Structure 1
Amino acid sequence: MTGAKDGYVRVTAPTEIEEMLARLSQPGGASLQLDAEESRPLPVLVVDQVPGDYLLLDISAIREVAAELRRGAAFRLLGQSRDQMLRTPPLLMDTCHEQEGRLLCQCPYPINLEVLQRRASFRARLRLGMEVGAIVRGGHSEAPLQSDLKDLSLEGCQLELPLSAASWLAAAETVEIELCFLNGVRFTIRAEPRHCLADTERQALRAGMRFVALSGDQERQLWHFVREIERESARQGESSDSSLLPSLLFQTDLAAAAPVSRRNISRYATPMAKRLARIAGYLDAQLLEIQEGGQWDAVQLSSFADRLLGLHAEDSEALLFATHCLYNEPLLVRHGLGVAVHMLDLATAGMLPRDARKALAACAMVHDLGKALLPTELLEASDWDDERQAALHVHVEVMREGLGACHWLAPGVVEAVVMRINERLDGSGYPARLSGETLGELTRLASVVDVVEAMRRDRPDRLAWKIGDIYRYLLSHPGQFDSRWVKRYLKHFGVMPIGTLVRFSGGELGWVQRLDGDGRLAQIQLTDRPAPPGESLGDVLRGERLKRLGDVVEVLRASF
């Protein structure tokens, strides 16, 4: 035996080759895979072998590829032997003919076989950006559930589903899972739910599934998927192998329907909120990657920063409101998006170059994700002594190291937004206790936006503040926050910023969605209760219909 690529070992002994090919001759023992296309394995029957001369194959079940094979398309035979996966080197078909209703083809006898030790329990984990949706049917749910595949093995998989799926999944004996790859490939298999882990912060449920009643063809396809996931992960990893071609399973089919995913079926208050949820999904995945010791993906961060700039250019006010609609996302994700969009809106008004705005948006989106590594009791603390504040510094260093791989980010923006956003003018901030003139304009702006966004949202240790109270707090602490930027923020976003919940003189409640050039209400959307803006929002009012509501008599504290 000699080494081969992808972990396979090459077998050249004629007797071993003959013995292994004999096992492939059993019904269901072999599959044919077009080599150039890296397509899914197709059923084929090895009818006969003449060692050193030829193999005779029955391809009656896959007549659709006969023309391609006749034109000289290379292919491999795949199969399994005991605890090994087998494949031939690329082969070419010599002849094909019809015989008693069967399509028989002859190809050269392989001079070697490539063998891979099969690891049934090995789980191929999907890295950031490797999206595979899963549709779950069965249990007590009449409608199918859409979810995300997190890892896959020959024995089972782990799915991430909406938290609401916990009750019916717990009562289900078996379910049907349909894996949906980006290139349009679908694969259906039955499974038993084995264990569930609820994540209330992310409103998600991690469910372990054990496959049942696998056929030989299903097992071969599963192994193909596991190998492709493992290979794509190796290609994208920290020590990436540039010799590996991208897996077609993860190449988006532009003609296909929207990707299947947990977020894709969730209902959102506005169309813009649904589009912003795709960026939230990336940040959520990056947050999990940090928790599991994974690496930052500079390409993904660049792509989603571009996407955020595109949404802002399309409709900035709709985007500002959308940042208040993602209440099912983790707090760190919601906060990062809120800071990014509000800083972007201020920066656009100041006419910063696009590259600078992109770097600003990217840094703001991720500036707090390192807190995912901090203990819960630290994040929920209300009394910040020196020891606790020192422990909090860890998340800043995590971000500094992680963003080091993102060479397209301007170092000055990383320093101002990520490293110094928690500094204060009087030196009471962290991590370096910088003060006064050592803090530049971008840091002064960032710290104001960061605090406003933090105080507008519920935290485990306190409820959200009303916007007027936040403004008064910032203006009353000029030693910590630059009053010029506090006033610029107030002037730009107004006393009732987009995303504020207000009560009118007639008792109606409404969310502020648009303002006119003078900061007055231009559009609101009615709601029947003081809850985060969700799918139950009412009519959108503007113009005369808005005027008939009367004056705003109260600005409410809203939890989101």
Structure 2
Amino acid sequence: MANLFVEENGPQPPKRLKAPVEIHASLRMLMDSHDPLVITFDDRNQRFQSFVVAVNRERNLIALDELIPNDGERFLQNGEAFRIEAFHEGVRIAWECRQNAYFAEIDGARCYWLPVPDEVLYHQRRNAFRASVSQGQPVAVEIAGEKLKAPIKGNLIDISATGCKIRLDGNASDRLQPGQVYERFTARLPFGAITLEVELRHVHFEEKVGVSFAGVRFLQVSGLVQRNIERFVYQLQREARRFEKDELF
């Protein structure tokens, strides 16, 4: 059944974008989609999260949001080189920065201005169909594990054979850590609940709506759980295609 979730184009070889118009378009896409950035400094194991908050094409600069955890700011102040990695709908976008950051503010919030990179790695990697879950028929989820004092509850936004995006109640960004593994992730699918181990890829709190959005990658998936996930993805895919067909006529 796995071949049902392979996109028609499949994974593509990585491209190196060097044209300014392509690089600016990729950075603006990350900003508009509010995709999280994972930042790692040379010779350091810790990972930090940020977001693109501005792209200034005239000055050839981009602005990053404050780093999470914020102790990464001192590495920026020291002028340490770092790498940035982000994912947008299955596309990996990555680049290196060896120039010093310029500290400033946008609308009263601290930010870091950096030169637009000369080269960006653009890699279409996803080979799993990602299906959206209708909010009219919500699928409840729960994250629990030794690192959490209490389970965090929410709903499924979309899901593929390898991971999912979820909406969580309240501000979960101070309780969840990107890169952390949580032993018990439960999703109550229509035909029964599944529980498995997940790695948190990113988390962001939207203050305006009072909810958090997070992405997780499935780990240590048993054969039965994998089949149930694929069954659910296929069901969503089939419903989406039926809806598109109905819209045409």
Q: Please state which band the TM-score falls in when normalised by the shorter chain.
A: 0.3 to 0.5
TM-score (norm 2): 0.47
TM-score (norm 1): 0.23
Q: Relative to total residues, which structure has the larger strand share, 1 or 2?
A: 2
Larger gyration radius, structure 1 or structure 2:
1
